Amino acid sequence: MKFLLISDSEELEGDISVILKVRWPEVILTHAVDHAKATEFVQTEQPDMVLLDLNLSQASDLNVLHEVRNFSDVPIIILSENDDVIDMVRALEMGADDCLAKPLVPMMLLAKVNAVLRRCGVLYWQPSHTPYFISGRLTIDYTTCEVCLSGKPVKLTPIEYKMLCHLVRNEGKVVANSSILDSVWGPEYMADNGFVKKYIYRLRSKLEDNRQSPKMLLTDRGIGYKFINPHTSSQR
């Protein structure tokens, strides 16, 4: 997994690297001091998580959080010496997934990271019966979490990947919006059908030849969506 730490502290980088590698030896931690470079890294490298070290009492320090949330749903945990409840709430409302006060307690950091990764779909669901799904042009490797279309890799965000998996494992069945929300985002988002519509649009843009006339991700108006295996349906 790839982590991005945005901080001006080299000591913090060393501490976090040691803590993360205890749990995930293969983890890659990138350190960015400059906010512009950090934003560029999120765009180009699509890390699995961002750890943002900042002073919550300084509104300007939250700019990078706002900028990243304009284009990415990457999980973000705020690290701050300021544990004021109002400031924490403000960061969460701006799009942070969790906050953690410094100095860091290793077990708490690991617990928070693990919980956010699981909730945001980075610790992916993997079917036990097969490591692959192959449907004509579409291939999903559940072991590496890679999606390919006609043999070419398709970059999906964690949320997009988790939604696709949820629809695929219910192939041919209409999946209600409430089921998608519960599986992908959790019960606290049960009323936000706009999330589902937004991410279906993004998946269609990446997987369908024509998102206005989809062949795989179909809408059952007023109920939900279903995945159709075009290879199987064409043989019927």
Three-class DSSP category at 21: helix
What residues does 80 pair with on adjacent strands? 101
pTM of the model: 0.56
Amino acid at 33: V
CATH number of the domain at 185, please: 1.10.10.10
**Distance in angstroms (rounded) separating the CA atoms of residues 142 and 148:** 12
Structure tokens at 150: 């006609």
pLDDT at 234: 45
Residue 150: the pLDDT is 86
Confidence at residue 16, expressed as pLDDT on a 0 to 100 scale: 94
Classify strands 175-176 and 132-135 as parallel, antiparallel or unpaired.
Answer: unpaired
pLDDT above 70: percentage of residues in the chain: 85
pLDDT level of residue 58 (50, 70, 90 thresholds): low
On whether both 16 and 114 belong to a single domain, the answer is: yes
Give the model's pLDDT for residue 154.
93
The pLDDT of residue 235 is 43
Statement to judge: residues 105 and 207 lie in one domain: no
CATH number at residue 25: 3.40.50.2300
The whole domain housing 202 covers: 132-234
Condensed to tens digits (0 to 9), the pLDDT of residues 175-234 reads 998 888 887 877 666 666 677 899 999 999 999 989 889 999 999 988 899 999 865 544
Judge whether 125 lies within some domain. no
Rounded to whole angstroms, the Cα distance separating 115 from 93 reads 18
Higher pLDDT, 71 or 187: 71
Q: What is the CA radius of gyration of the chain?
A: 19
Q: Is there a single domain that holds both residue 36 and residue 104? A: yes
Query: In this structure, what DSSP letter does residue 215 have?
Result: S
Window from 6-20, 21-35, 111-125 with minimum mean pLDDT: 111-125
Task: Identify the domain boundary among 120, 149, 166.
Answer: 120
Domain-ending residue, one of 120, 148, 180: 120
- Residues 140 and 110 grouped into a single domain: no
Please report the beta strands in the chain, taking only residues with DSSP state E, as ranges in sequence order.
Answer: 2-6, 28-32, 49-53, 76-80, 98-101, 132-135, 138-141, 146-149, 152-154, 175-176, 217-220, 224-227
Mean per-residue pLDDT of the chain: 83
The answer to whether 125 and 167 are in contact (CB under 8 A) is no
pLDDT digits (tens, 9 = 90+) for 132-172: 787 778 888 877 788 999 889 999 888 888 899 889 888 88
What's the total number of domains in the chain? 2
- Residue 48 carries which DSSP code? S
**Is 202 a member of any domain?**
yes
Q: Is the pLDDT of residue 127 over 50?
A: no
**Strand pairing category for 224-227 and 175-176:** antiparallel
Check residue 137 and give its pLDDT. Answer: 82
Higher per-residue confidence, 221 vs 57: 221
